[in-house]
Amino acid sequence: MGKYSDLFTQSINDPESFWGEAAEQIDWYRKWDRVIDNTNPPFFRWFTGGEMNTCHNAVDRHVENGRGDQVAIIYDSPVTDTIKKYTYRELLDLTANFAGVLKGLGVSKGDTVIIYMPMIPQAAVAMLACARLGAIHSVVFGGFAAHELAIRIDHSKPKVIVCASGAIEGKKILEYKPLIDKAIELSDHKPEKCVVFQRSQVSATLKPGRDYDWQELVKTAEPAPCVPVAATDPLYILYTSGTTGMPKGVVRDNGGHAVALNWSMDNIYNTRAGDVFWAASDVGWVVGHSYIIYGPLIKGCTTIIYEGKPIGTPDPGAFWRVISEHNVKVLFTAPTAFRAIKKEDPTGSYTKKYDLSCFKYLFLAGERLDPDTYHWATEILKVPVIDHWWQTETGWPIAANCMGIEPLPIKPGSPTVPVPGYDVRILDDAGHELPAGREGNVVIKLPLPPGTLPTLWLDDEKYKKSYLSHFKGYYTTSDGGYKDEDGYVYVMGRMDDVINVAGHRLSTGAMEEVIATHPGVAECAVFGVHDSIKGQIPIGLVVLKAGVDIEPSTMTADLVGMIRNEIGPIACYKETSIVKRLPKTRSGKILRGTMRAIADGREYRMPSTIDDPTILTEITETLGGMGYPGK
């Protein structure tokens, strides 16, 4: 760990020089007075006194530096049978023009704008146009229910809403405008204007005096220049896709965000200007913000906006087609996407249809990468499969195998080591640091590096209470895990996924890792349910791979034996049910907490981010058949 170790040590011991050097790689209108301002802990600010513009760094500077004819965005939409490419010069024209539209509607520096769009290039244009004006965008995942959108409207108080007329979900068309209208009706705050991008597949009815047609407005708009903003000014608000409770408005600043993302493209993803980088996610999630839009464009890469799925659009070879056709160097997606592909094509036969010689790295994040999926992806792709771990709040990776610094030996089940800038520690519940191998609370010693959340929107107290109050001087990730003797981090799941079985603290994540190695299992979820004798016991739900036929009793016996062998009888694992699918958020996280509440007979709030609410009826019936609640 020579080069990595040196950089990591510098980042922790001398963050001023480390991040000051990194900041030289982006354009500034005015240099900063201080790299890190620690005068008001726990609110640390980066590059105070500096002025810049994120849109300039993502678009204008590449045109100015001779990259105007390079492709900036490839729009690949199998659901509409569309492939369209936009150069940096074309992206600049579109963005400046739409910034002029927003400016003409009264949007200026410091105003908020809600963006509610599917995976189309206009979503990127809207985000960049806001950044261009110094306005603060809040992208809400397209398709969120009207009630959830209304909550975000009332909290962020947008001057304007930008939306599309609808989205294509497989073979279905989802109209957005009725959701927007209902949300505005429900909200106390009434946005002044709504700009609607009319898609050819679905037409929206506009309300006179409030709603405007995107295509009509851009015809007469005056292109707007970039507005200098303070490094510490907000770039966006992103409401957490938390599976329970009310969303929190994570704030991202301009300066630290641009510096950190630019640094990460080089050092984590080993990606340079001109490379094709594809994050198969959605602009509504943090991955979409950081690594579909801002990270690749700030670096000068070609990024892909993909309107499709890993399977079914049209088949399990969808990802391999995109990689081959567009010369993708790096793919970043969630493990759940690969489990879906593995379920439909267990032998990886579709990879043989495409030339993947351009492809160098697969990065996976968003949930724990089980070793079985890691080994499967490694075997069929023959490239490094890099597990890395981060959160909406951090905005970029906390732990990773940094391909651009020094590739380290991969240990399946670990996202490798802390990324420079993140002082990751493992603490017990009393706040004492634990030795290697001991599982506890994964925390990060303050200050957090640039690019992470400086606070929550309009709620400093909630920021402190949610993240900083558990252990003084540390940011709490709410994940449990440990470090091994080599300093590798193992994240075993949310702390509420640690169950207490007859006084023994056990990780359901560790049990899932064992179950995932069963040759018939495509996906699984283990969670603790109430037990009158032991306090809690684990139960498992599994999804079978395509073509697998196995008796439930045989599967249960197999898994009980495997967990006894790997973890021990102490786990008290005895019950398994085979299900067709697991409830997930739209970003792919399995809703273990919701299933646990159903099994225990507790009330639960329907998660706003659930992919398909009808699945909870199926899960309730399955758990009822197992005797829950009631045991």
Cis peptide before 42 (omega within 30 of 0): yes
267 phi, psi to nearest 5 deg: -90, -30
Closest CA to 113 of 274, 234, 266: 234
Is 303 within 8 Å of 277 (Cβ atoms)? Answer: yes
pLDDT > 70? residue 621: yes
Q: Comparing 168-172, 406-410, 574-578, which segment has the lowest mean pLDDT?
A: 168-172
Q: How confident is the model at residue 95 (pLDDT cuts 50, 70, 90)?
A: very high
Q: Where are the alpha helices (DSSP H) in 568-614?
A: 592-600
Q: What is the per-residue pLDDT across 55-76, written as a single tens digit (0 to 9) for each?
A: 999 999 999 999 999 999 999 9
CB within 8 A of 585, min separation 6: which ones? 241, 243, 591, 607, 609, 610, 611
pLDDT > 80? residue 245: no
* pLDDT number for residue 398: 98
Q: What is the mean pLDDT of the chain?
A: 93
pLDDT > 50? residue 432: yes
* pLDDT number for residue 496: 61
Residue that has been written with the tokens 């004798």 in this structure? 533
What residue type is 100 in one-letter code? G
- DSSP one-letter string for 346-365: TT-GGGGGS--TT--EEEE-
164 phi, psi to nearest 5 deg: -105, 165
What residue type is 82 in one-letter code? T
Q: What percent of the chain has pLDDT over 70?
A: 96
Domain annotation for the chain: domains and CATH numbers: 2-308+388-481 (3.40.50.12780), 502-625 (3.30.300.30)
C-alpha–C-alpha distance, residues 373 and 413, integer Å: 10
Which pTM does this prediction carry?
0.84
Q: How confident is the model at residue 244 (pLDDT cuts 50, 70, 90)?
A: very low
The mean per-residue pLDDT over the stretch 158-179 comes to 93
Tokens of 417: 């080591």
Cis peptide before 629 (omega within 30 of 0): yes
Half-sphere exposure at residue 143, Cβ-oriented, CA atoms within 13 angstroms = 20
